Amino acid sequence: MKKSVRIAVGLAVVAGVASTAGAWYTGQQLEPALVGSIAQANQELKTLTPGLGLDVTVELVSLERGVLSSTAHYRVKAKGDLTTTGDESTAVDGELLFVDRIEHGPFPLSRLMRLKLMPVMSKSNFELENSPLVAKWFSASQGVSPLSGHASIGYTGNVNSSLKLQPLEFSEEGSSLKFSGLNLNAQVAQGQKSFKLDGDMDSLALVGPDHTRIELQGLSLRNDSNLGESGLYLGTSESKLKQVQVLIAEQPPLLINDMLQTGKLDEDKSGVFGSFTYGIGMLNFAGKDLGALDMAGSVKNLDTLAIKDLAEMYKQLITNLDASHYDASNPDFNLNAEQQTKLETDIGNLLAAKPVLALDKFAFKTANGQSSFNLSLGLNKPSSFDLPPDALAMQSIASLDARLQVSKPMIKDVVLSQAALDPSADPEAAKQQAEQMSEMAGMMAVGTQMAVVDGDNIVASLKYADGQVDLNGRKMPLEEFMAMSMGMAGGMGGGMPQASLDEETPPSYADGSVDESEGDSGLQAE
């Protein structure tokens, strides 16, 4: 045998012995590591699940150790009430069983077979086990475990994992479900300092006994976050949904196309700041395009320390809650005097940084026009939290800047879209009614002095700072603006024709008749 061959064989033997020794050592350390991980998971669950009305715990049922691999069995128990508001409630008291086939490091065989040569402590291969609680779920997935996944744990504590929900088909008593499956991948750094997530689903269709149908298509999720000094996870997120289709009994179909939501959160020396967007490519009803929605918002000047303190207080309070008696609509934390003082101090510090909350854009666009609204609200720390509500509100608002623009052509589009859904509607009458409503909206806005007409748009702007109000370019003290607003509200209520108040039926387009007197009076006023 050549010397080089003997050396290669010797190295292979040494590597095999070292790998086996490492796997054996991993097996010896596995149980205390699992016990510690489960304890940490239960602690995290204790801070998360009370908000859902549930008490969830994880248990290690058994562990069968081997040299190269081990098998662990877990039990996840949930108890509580998922619906804590309203008259009806759904009690939850059950358990899920999981089996986990753990390959010992440093070189798990399944990773070697996929040419993944980076050493890891272990690789977990888990799946949901069949039990009476999930028997129908298993049946819907053709006997395959409907929930399974893998997780590789590195020597630095990093975890790379994947989760798979199997395709499902289920039908019972006129109801059915068809699910294409869902894949999630996640990367979590040691100590949960950062995580990345991505997931995809092709379709989900639900059909009810009354032929109601809800169908989702083309879902994707993305998240890239890291833990900041504020205790918040900073970074970016994105979710997309290609289409939502809703069919209710004999009603025309509703389609929501190209939904997109994004978020970004970051921090610097001035504090935490972030932004979000939300959009709908097109809203379609009965085969007719109605319009598109575009929304964006932002926040800035959030004090890092105040955010961290408030998050820590919330975490402590939620941990001490009894999940079975938690009411999401009215959480009662029963703050003592010390906690109440601490809460006011933290909120005061948050407001002292003068945070700014903004709805940067809220726009709805139709074929012939677009209407939009934006608002920026600057906050301030009040002199005391014991002030009367109106005084507290005024001291807490440092500035306000709002602008509303309503497109008259868009008003016409909306009215015509509504009329188009009535098969008996007269197109000419509907067009005339749309014109009248568009012009009437402009006259009412000008008549109340709350807006001006600029070409095809009805525009209103309101600014407030330092006790002064600017309404459409007209400056006045806050007191004068409040008096004017109250006077106009009273005048409008007192001057409303009784016939309009009593009218219960919408205008009819069927006979082609429209009240010409309204149109004439509108022209005279203009």
Single-letter amino acid, residue 216: L
Task: Read off the tokens for 172.
Answer: 């019972």
Per-residue model confidence (pLDDT) at position 70: 87
Mean pLDDT of 147-174: 89
Per-residue model confidence (pLDDT) at position 13: 42
pLDDT digits (tens, 9 = 90+) for 255-280: 999 999 999 999 998 899 999 999 99
């991948």: which residue's tokens?
185
Per-residue model confidence (pLDDT) at position 460: 94
pLDDT digits (tens, 9 = 90+) for 64-87: 887 778 899 999 998 877 654 445
Quote the distance between the C-alpha of residue 281 and its chain's center: 18
pLDDT digits (tens, 9 = 90+) for 16-73: 444 444 444 455 566 777 888 888 888 888 776 666 667 889 999 998 887 778 899 9
- Mean pLDDT (the chain, rounded): 81
More confident residue, 446 or 364: 364
Measured CA angle at 407 (ends 433, 465), to 5 deg: 135
Percent of the chain with pLDDT over 70: 80
Mean pLDDT of 156-169: 91
Query: Which phi and psi (to 5°) does residue 495 adopt?
Result: -95, 5
Per-residue model confidence (pLDDT) at position 490: 60
**C-alpha closest to that of 274 among 236, 226, 224:** 236
Contact between 517 and 435 (Cβ < 8 Å):
no
Residues 441, 446, 452, 455: what is their CA dihedral angle, to the nearest 10 degrees? 50
Q: Is the pLDDT of residue 102 over 50?
A: yes
Sign of CA dihedral 247, 253, 256, 257: positive
Mean pLDDT of 100-128: 79
Per-residue model confidence (pLDDT) at position 105: 66
More confident residue, 520 or 35: 35
pLDDT band at 441 (very low <50, low <70, confident <90, very high): confident
DSSP for 340-394 reads HHHHHHHHHHHHHT--EEEEEEEEEE-SS-EEEEEEEEEE---S-TTS-HHHHHH
Mean pLDDT of 336-347: 89
**C-alpha closest to that of 271 among 233, 299, 303:** 303
Q: What count of Cα atoms within 13 Å lies in the side-chain half-sphere of residue 122?
A: 25
pLDDT band at 500 (very low <50, low <70, confident <90, very high): very low
CA distance 81 to 324: 6
- Which of 316-330, 439-453, 511-525 is predicted with the least confidence, judged by mean pLDDT? 511-525
Whole-Å CA distances, 114 to 109, 111, 118, 476, 522: 9, 5, 11, 73, 77
pLDDT digits (tens, 9 = 90+) for 386-419: 899 888 988 999 999 999 999 999 999 988 888 7
- Which of 89-103, 180-194, 267-281, 456-470 is predicted with the least confidence, judged by mean pLDDT? 89-103
């012009």: which residue's tokens?
439
Mean pLDDT of 210-238: 92
Number of Cβ within a 10 Å radius of residue 458: 24
Single-letter amino acid, residue 371: S
CA distance 80 to 94: 10
